[in-house]
Structure 1
Amino acid sequence: MHTMWKGTISFGLVNIPIKLHAATENKDIKLRQLHEECKSPIEYKKRCPVCEREVESQEIVKAYEYAKNKFVVLDAEDLETLKKEQEDKAVEILDFVKLEEIDPIYFERSYYMSPSEGGSKAYGLLRKALTDTGKIGVAKIIIRSKEQLAIVRVYQNTLVMETIHFPDEVRQSKDVPNVPEETELSKKEVSTAVTLIDQLTAEFDPEKYKDEYRTALLDLIEAKRNNEEVTTAADKPKPDNVTDLMEALEKSLEKTKGGTKKKTTKRKSNAGSKKKTS
């Protein structure tokens, strides 16, 4: 399992060297966009609208837009230093709370935690303490240059870290439009709805839920492959030096014409003024 973060997590005076591993994976089927005419993949290029040319990665800097078209440029060195300062700090569990006190709307991503060398005993100690108390730990961690609020809990004998949103990142439910206030409902309507919920109530078994759309899409792709309904992208045309040279010459000629017209006008006006003097 790929390690995506290494560090130390502590509670009180106990330090646990750990590694984080992504607990989930995205299984969405990625579809490419092709040019219908030649079936070639579409390219997305970084282009500067002012300089009117493509821009290389090394020419790009990061900035914060504090007002329309007003930026504060942040040097890569500054960002790297700030990131290093934060990442070097041990992750400290700040509080212990009950899991049910946190609404699911706060949860973001899950990571499995494994002990690094020499951390097995401390790892087991935290796991046992969390299990016995029925509590979870609340901590802060820097992941991918972003400070995250996180919780540490036990899942099937493994410690799991789940990043959660900060309160100001969760939008207020009162701002949702068209939500009705208390509505008048008859006792029969409520009773029928409750009965329906009771009839559909079951223990949660994640294995019974399947991504039917993804399965159907894979079946469709496989069927087209078996029927040889496939296409191959056309070879990228090699640059024609003659054509490129002609284009460059034509553009240069246009610029020269523009400059010549200006010079000619200036000469005429000078000639006219000399004639008047004589």
Structure 2
Amino acid sequence: MHTMWKGTISFGLVNIPIKLHSATENKDIKLRQLHNECHTPIQYERTCPHCEREIENEEIVKAYEYAKNKFVVLDEEELQQLKKEQEDKAVEIIDFVKLEEIDPIYFEKSYYMSPDESGSKAYALLRRALKDTGKIGIAKIIIRSKEQLAIVRIYENTLLMETIHFPDEVRDVRDVPNVPEEEEVGDKELKTAVSLVDQLTTEFEPNQYKDEYRTALMELIEAKKNDEEITTAKEQPAPDNVTNLMDALEKSLERTKGQKGGTKKKTTKSTTKKKSTSKANQPKEKKTS
């Protein structure tokens, strides 16, 4: 399992060297965009509208837009130094709370925590402490240049770190439009609704829920493959130095031919004129008797 982050997490004076591994994966079926005429994959280029040309990676800098078209440019060295200062800090569990006190709207992404070679005993100690108290830990961690609020809890027999949103990242529910205020609900309608809820109530078994759209899409793709309804993108000739050199040589040759033709014609005319002038200026020979 790929390691996403490596560091130390602590509670009190106990330090646990750990590794984080992504606990979930995105299984969305990625569809490519092709040109309908030749079925070649579409490419997107980074261009500067002001300079009207494509931009290379080394020409790009990061900046914060604090007002319309007003930017504060941040050097990569400054960002890396700031990142290093934060990442060098050990992740500390700062509070312990009950899981039910946190609304699921705050939950973001889950990571399995595994102990480093020397951290097994401390790992087991934290796991047992959380289990016996029924609490979860609150910590801060920097992942991919972003500081994250996180919880540490037990999932089956493994410690799980789950990043959660900061309060200012959760939008105010009062901004949601058209939410009705408290309204009178008829007893008959309410009784019917409650009965329906009771009939559909069961224990949560995650394996019984399937992504039906993804399954149907893969079946469609496989059917088209079996019927050989497939297309192959036309291979694009890869430009190389030889091709570029030949193009440059041929263009240079054409340009040289044009220049020589014009120069030669002009030179001939000039030479003819010069010869005529020279002949006219020569002194006439005297006849001798």
Q: Give the TM bin, normalised by the shorter chain.
A: 0.7 to 0.9
C-alpha distance in structure 1 between counterparts of 2:210 and 2:155, whole Å:
22
Q: Which residue of 2 aligns with 1:37?
A: 37
Identity across the alignment (%)? 76
Which secondary structure does the structure 1 equivalent of 2:153 belong to? strand
1:237 Cα offset (Å): 4.7
* TM-score, normalisation: structure 1: 0.86
Which amino acid in structure 2 is aligned with residue 197 of structure 1? Answer: V
The residue aligned with 2:195 is 195
Shift of residue 185, structure 1, vs aligned partner: 1.2
CA distance in 2, matches of 1:141, 1:237: 47
2:179 alignment counterpart: 179
Q: Is the alpha carbon distance of 1:121 and 1:69 closer, same or farther for their aligned partners in structure 2, counting shifts above 3 Å?
A: same
3-state SS in 2 of match to 1:215: helix
Shift of the alpha carbon at 1:103? 0.1
SS in 2 for 1:73: strand
The answer on 1:64 being equivalent to 2:47 is no
CA distance in 1, matches of 2:236, 2:220: 29
1:139 and 1:57 mapped to 2: Cα distance?
35
The aligned amino acid for 2:75 is D
Distance in 2 separating the partners of 1:95 and 1:206: 30
Cα distance in 2 for partners of 1:212, 1:245 equals 59
Give the C-alpha shift of residue 216 in structure 1: 0.4
Equivalent residue number for residue 73 of structure 1: 73
> Could you say what secondary structure the match of 2:160 adopts?
strand
> Could you say which residue in structure 2 is the equivalent of 1:166?
166
Q: 1:92-103 counterparts in 2 under 5 A?
A: 92-103=92-103
Please provide the CA RMSD for this pair. 1.5
Amino acid at match of 2:185: L
Residues 79-116 of structure 1: per-residue CA shift (max 9 Å, x gap) = 00000000000000000000000000000000000001
Bigger radius of gyration among the two: 2
Give secondary structure in 1 for the equivalent of 2:183: coil
- Describe the superposition over 1:53-99 as per-residue Cα deviations: whole angstroms up to 9, x where unpaired: 00000110000011111111100000000000000000000000000
CA-to-aligned-CA distance 1:147-187 (integer Å, 9 cap, x gap):
00000000001000000000000001111000000122110
Number of positions where the alignment pairs a residue of Structure 1 with one of Structure 2: 246
Instruction: Give the partner amino acid of 2:117.
Output: E
Paired residue for 2:3? 3
Q: Which residue type is aligned with residue 170 of structure 1?
A: V
Measure the CA separation in 1 of the matches of 2:185 and 2:133.
42
CA distance in 2, matches of 1:65, 1:176: 27
Question: Is structure 2 residue 114 aligned with structure 1 residue 114?
Answer: yes
Using structure 2 for the length normalisation, give the TM-score: 0.83
Amino acid at match of 1:67: A
Determine the structure 1 residue equivalent to 2:19: 19
Q: Mark the runs of 5 or more structure 1 residues left unpaired by the alignment.
A: 250-278
Residue of structure 1 equivalent to 2:287? none
The residue that corresponds to 1:217 in the other structure is: 217
